[in-house]
Structure 1
Amino acid sequence: MTYFYYHHDDDDCDKNSDPNATNDSASVKYNTAQTIAVLANDSDPDGDPLKVQWASDPAHGSVTVNADGTITYTPDPNYSGTDSFTYKIYDGQGGYDTATVTINVSAPDGIVEGTSGGDLIDDHYTGDPEGDMVDNNDAILPGAAPNDDYIIAGDGNDTVYAGQGDDSVEGGQGDDLIYGEGGNDTISGDAGNDTIYGDNDPAGGPAADPVSETVDWSHFQTDCGEVKDQTVDLGETKVHFDFQSQDYGAKATLTTSAQYTEAGENFDSCSALQLYGAGGDCEGGVSPTSTTVLTFSSDNSDYTGEVQGLSFRINDLDRSDSYDDHVDVVTLSAVDADGNPVAITIDPEGNQTVTDNGDGTYTITGGDQDDGSLYQDDKIGSVKVTINDPTAKLSIAYSNGGATDQAISITDMTYDTCPVENDPGEPGDDSLMGGLGDDVLYGQQGNDTLEGGHGSDSLDGGQGNDTLDGGADADTVSGGDDRDLFIVGSSTDGIGDTLDGGEGGDDYDTLDLQGAGPLRVHSTVTDYDPVSGVSTYAGTVDFLDGSGNVTGTLEFSNMEEVIPCFTPGTLIATPRGEVPVETLREGDKVLTRDNGIQEVRWAGRADMTHEQLARAPHLKPVLIRKGSLGNDLPERDMMVSPNHRMLVANDKTALYFEEHEVLVAAKHLVGNQGVDTVETLGTSYLHFMFDRHEVLLANGAWTESFQPGDQTLGGMGNSQRQEIFEIFPELQTAKGREAYQAARKTLKKHEANVLRMS
């Protein structure tokens, strides 16, 4: 006998090596879950497949271990900062290792940022790097309410729905489509040919695009071979299946038998619902009826739950008196979400009879096929059903009018989801700026400000008292309803423009050309209201060069006023003597009553033609003749604008108003001896400002400098107004304008009348 001795050496046996888990890090958006592929950098020396066995709970969130080895981390609501968790991997051979995942949850910066591509930015957009969203109650910028969003769309052809609140939107480069929706929004299209709506799409606008879905019968469950009541999620839509019958053998089943379909139809030719009906012999010759009801709904707030363009086929719908004495009868009905009947189109391929019952139901009766040998894929036994309008519920009632058992087949159904229409919210007072490019701006409702910027723009103010400035290049500007102000900042801006004030609402439109001279206006009266005494004008504006040559033309229509405060020739007292007012420039020194020598900070001019003055008689100049103010003042005749105020100082002012010196508008002095409104062939109004409202000498009489107020600034051209704001930035706010107080008490009209009558 021979013995063999085997020495067992553990080093020669296969040994399992532990896997290597490597620490991970991940950046997670604010209030956003993220799935992390933790196994991507883990390894096993033996090549064993790895699984994640468990993960610890993070301090500021939660984790879910997924079947594919990933881990989904969800931060706590409104948390930002650092978080971490530990996970354990297993190689299936007894080897383990652990690693730590460090999470950085970004804090929102209050800005919803688009990408470099064409984005759809609305309240479902999640592409912002920090997780900011539209109307997510997460606005954090100073002074912003929770839904006052700041949106920077970035490059690309973007579509932006700003939602509710007072939003700020920058379109960036690209041809953008922007809806301000509710609130007082500020929107800039920036570069590109943009279309901007201050409120919402005039047609309402869908919240989302329609989605094509299919009722695929293979997704439905069966119980003992029959389809019972159930709800199936098809994506954006859910469909509830309800089968009702009078028993006697009626049932619903699924079949994979070949179905008749035609090219271009998206019905699965091997998927159908089969409805069985027992013959009349089952119960005293009465053929039972089964009713299949499909009810559509949606959990997505972007969709109504109704479906549109619903389409399917009913196959094997026939009749035979000679073969097995049967007749298939189908009655269809559909209603919308309000329960109103919806029209159904039925196209039979054979000689079936279709009857519109007039009550929202349609009956299809099988045609006589003689031998009764039709199958589910035979054309002549097929009927095409189409329901185009939004549908919430479809009913299919089936009975077999003969003595034997029969069945019909319902193919898969295709349809599109129905998006909800956006709620425009309350109309706001919006500010829309086109920027570069040929832009289209719609103010819609509210008192809006529209500025076209560069490019050949189209501006439509819509309803409300709007301010419109087409900006550079040839623009088309429509005020729409109510009282609109059209501003032409310069002759260059105005050349080629077409302006239409509109006729609806509380209509009184003004064309402001103060910053666009020299110019010449040609106009005709197109309408006159004898009750209000207001005329409406149309015409053209010729812009002139220094030699009086026409450099370009503007066309206007439906304007009730065309606007153009010392007139040229008035002498102003300065340290170097009296100088004509038209020669004063910024930096010149002028003598003032209260503060000595002061420097002119800004000077402006508005020219008015005879036609303009004829259309706006309340703007005609007032002639104050020599000596008419008392004490031989003024020393020479002088003409001023009707709102220009003169200093009046006498015993009457002290007696009646407890002020020795007061200011009175020239128009309120008309009627005093030597003070009259005059007819002229045209005039120019000049105004200049100091650091404060001053009283100065003009033709030897004390009068005022220009005082900026809401009305005077609002009636100016944009360029002049911007000049003033650059020099006096505080005047951009109501508080700043209030601080620029009048140098003296200003009398109202009835108070000025007291002086004249006493």
Structure 2
Amino acid sequence: MPSAVPLVIIPPPTPTPEPEPETPEPETPEPETPEPETPTPTPTPTPTPPTPPSGDDTIGDIDDTGGGGQGTSPAVIGGVVRGTESNDSLAGSPGPDVISGLQGNDTLQGVGGDDLLFGNDDDDVLFGNEGNDVLDGGSGLDTLYGGKDNDSIEGANNPDLLYGNDGNDTVIGGEGRDTAYGGKGSDSLRGGSGDDSFLGDRGDDILWGDEGNDSLFGGDGEDLVFGNEGGDWLYGNAGGDTFFSGDGDDIVFGGDGDDIVDGGAGNDVLWGEAGKDIMAGGEGRDVFVIGAFSSPSGSSNGTNPAFVTTGGPDIADADIFTDFRQGEDLIGLSGDLKFEDLVIFQSTDTKAGSTIIRNGVSGDFLAVLPGVDSRTLGRSSFVIAPTVPGSATPLPLPTPTDSPTPTPTPTATPTPTPTASPTPTPTPTASPTPTPTASPTPTPTEPVPTFPTPTANPTPTFPTPTASPTPTASPTPILNQPPKAVNDNFTTVAGQQLTLNVLLNDTDAEQSALTVTTFSPASKGTLVPVGGGVFKYTPNQGFSGTDSFSYSISDGNGGTSQAVATIRVSSPPQLVINDGVVVAKSNPTQTITAADLLVTDPDNTPSEIVYTITKAPDATRGFVQRGTTFLNVGGKFTQDDINNNIVKYNLLATGGSDSFTFTASDGSATLEPISFSITVVDNIVDRSALPASSFTGSNLSDFILGGAGDDTLSGGDGNDIIDGSGGNDLEFGDAGNDSVVGAIGNDTLDGGLGNDTVDGQDGIDSLIGGLGNDLMFGGNDNDILLGGDNNDTIDGGTGNDSILGESGDDSILGGAGIDTLLGGIGDDSLDGGAGDDILDGGLGRNLLDGGINNDSISGGDNDDTILGGEGNDTGLGGSGSDYMLGEAGSDSLLGQAGDDTLDGGAGSDCLSGGFGNDLVLGGDDNDSLSGGAGNDILGGGNGSDLLTGDAGNDFFYYETPSEGVDVIADFNTNGSETDRFLFRSSNFAGLTNSGTTLDFTSFIVRNIGSSGDDISKQSVILFESKFDNAQAVNAVLKNQKGSSKAGAFFVYLNNTFNKYVLGFDPNVADDSLPAFDLAVLNSIPTVPGALSTVITASDFKFI
């Protein structure tokens, strides 16, 4: 795998740097790459942009002469500030503003309120200042400052420089090589594509590297760091941090505090550094680093190196390497630590079954390796600590001089006694077992058949013929007539299967039964014979047109015939436009045109597409007519009628908004019933022929249609319809239940008061729902949508959208593209749709579904439901008792606080319950499960899983005996933590808890055989003997004294990797039925007598 390429060069002696670089000036949009000696950029306080003075402001090329810092220029309307194609300096008001820079190198300032700032094109500088602001840099090299409060900041395209500043901010790099600083507060930083450099800074931050070779620095606080794809460099810095480095060859520096590190896939280098760290390498050839090193992290000024060492004087201070694999993983020695300094021994007490590595010079405990046999660790298992991932330098061989021999039994302060190095006795080389020479296989000789010798043929004698009488003439026989096969024609619709019979029009003169004897395949679909001349034909996906096949028939009397069957596959009708009509009370007759209703079909002309009314308009409100004919239920008209303007709607004097329902057919396929809307307004204002202008509607219901220019349209009071048409428009629904449509262009739409429908359609739009239960559609391109108050329904559409539900119980769909969905306050439903999306539920009981691709999902506060969908997803439950399902893909789920339920689903998943009493289920494939703190239940499911209970009294759960062989890293039954096994009784021979229907007991077998120890009525059979596998135990159990047909569990020492293994035999007396290995018990020591002290019948529970 490729080595990681860091954005920041890390000098080998200082693996956890924290210097104080200078903050780039805001007017310099080109982000600076930190110097190698300052790889952890800690920004100085963000410069506060100058407050716009009272008086004349410059907004683009327009002189704002309103004074007070808030002008009256047409560029500032209703809190919406729009720049020009030049370099603008734009400032908002103390309230909420929408500020767009458009083209040019712009400077935008939000001042106060919850603002939306869009840099748009070129190199911009954006300041959110006070309020919960949304900043989007757009294209160009942008610099964004969130300012105070909780901001959402996105760099979008190109390399950007991003500052969260105060508050709990969301910072997204987007495309390009971005640099970001979270600042104060608990921030969420997302890299996107490109090789990014992110610093969480203060607070408990969450950092995602996403694609690329990223450098992520947690800073202060207890941070959560995800490397994701690529070769990443991850730094925890201060605090107890959690790392998931993801795919690629990564390097992780834990820094201060007690860290949790998961290397994921790839050849990783893991430096726990200071603190009691728990590290898992994951897949690949990993290096776990121990020892001493110089680090500026320990000094007050961050420049003078301080001596830092891993481990400590107590065994509880040591790092834990949970999945060290001898022969694959390595241990790196840092600083002055040498292999000769190490004391390596097997623990028999506190960390029973583990290898302990201790510094024989200082006495410090350095590392605990659960389930590793200390006798397997030699010099070859250690390397010089790498400073880049994917490489390791073997230790140099020691110089053969006198060396100290450490005391065999380590104490708190071992004093090695120097003695002469003993001369090692050479180990005799085993003589190779001679390979027997295979006996040659004899080649069979084929017998030669013997044939009798033929005698000479006799000469035939012909008699003299007698004259025959003249025969009587016979009648001429009637010849069989061949059948007649006739060409066939069939019709079906694209995507639909057709059943056809080719014999229906074929005949035979003698009326003999006809059969199809041969046929050719169809070229554009699948043809399956059923019998009796019947075939099933399924057209290929997406095909329409003509297909055919030939066939032959037989009458059974030697007569045959051939024909061709032709199949016409037609396209079904497609509804292209269904916009409804708007009717003014002053002009009650409205023509329904193709711009209002359009159904097309490439196989048919408009006159062949027939509409049928299935539900007519309310007769008291109005009616539909074709020419002079009134249409009721069953009435018909064609698309050609619509194209020729002869279908109209007539509004009655008592009428109001209405609808009618129709179907549409091309003769082969029919659309399901569809509703056509009829909206009645007081006034229609058509400004489509005017240049860019401003207009405000009346207090009645208005339909305002803009033109091709950049219009500013306000509905006023009443239930209005506003359609900006072309241009970059500003549209305000104001009071009432309004419909605000942006159409073409980069529009800003505000629904205002009421239950509004806001639709951006084409262009990069900004949509604000306002007060009320709103329905919002982003449409195409990259849109920003803010729901506002109440319960909104929001659909981002295509493009990379940013959606904030704000307050209320909102339903949010990201649609296609890389979307950011923030639920805000309330019980929200978020669906990312297609693309690598970011979902954050916020406050409330939320339902979050990542959809397709690789998503990052955070539940937020309260009890949430998180569904990963397809792809490799990352899920954070947050506080509350959450339900998290990874579904398809290799997912990483962390329950965090609360009693959570985690289910990985399909794929190789990494699951961690976090704090609380959690249920963690791996699902399919090979998963890694960690319970975290609390009394947890862990079930690996199908596949070979790694199960780590962590702190608390945990259960390791098995649904069936055949689901796979797991590795249990820390089965503890001694001390304050008591772990148990949990089984589904019905799948494990009906065994039940002791004291119910049967007593459940355990027994150690020391004498094997039919005359050995009696195992009758024993449910757990323990062997300290070695066996190759479960089937070898199965054979022994059959012949053991007391063997019966009952099922039983067994524990044996595996001969291959010298670990105790838990297994199950469903029928002890029958070895023809397979026995099953369930789990490798890494933490049980292999020393004699240890097994009986760890595994007893009380450790087995059933449900």
Shared fold per TM-score greater than 0.5 = no
More helix by share: 1
More strand by share: 1
Q: Which has the higher contact order (CA 8 A, sep 6+)?
A: 1
